[in-house]
Amino acid sequence: MSLIIKYILITYITEFQFSGFRKRLLIDKYILNVMSYYIILWTLSEQGIEKIKDSPKRFEHVKEIWTSKGIKVHAVYYIFGQYDGVNIVEAPDDASLMSALLSVESEGNARTTTLKAFTYEEAKKIIDNL
């Protein structure tokens, strides 16, 4: 985004009578390009279990897809219990992440449950505005 457009957006947002919190969110999201965090819980399908030895190679492919959509992978864990794994990622927006997850799930190796996460600082801003 060009500096001129950023200046116009900052001026426009500042002149509007939003609460300080709403203004800060708009500036963070659209001008500073702050991304959201997500926790992705996944389970392997029967197909994924049958091809478990290919799992690390498949994840490298998934990571390439996600990176191309602007998604940053912070952590990947294989776990036991109700889920087979958990990923912590940062994405530019919900639509980008949904697109990436649907492309992965369409391959048939895993199913996901996604949670949007807030940092302590983000949660504190939200709670302070109650």
DSSP designation for 53? G
Q: In what helix (H) or strand (E) does residue 124 lie, and over which residues does it extend?
A: helix 120-128
CATH number of the 36-120 domain: 3.30.70.920
pTM of the model: 0.72
Question: Structure tokens of 66?
Answer: 């996600």
pLDDT in tens, 12-67: 544 444 445 455 555 555 545 578 999 999 999 999 999 999 999 999 988 998 99
Nearest to 67 by CA among 89, 86, 87: 89
- CA gap 25, 70 in Å, rounded: 20
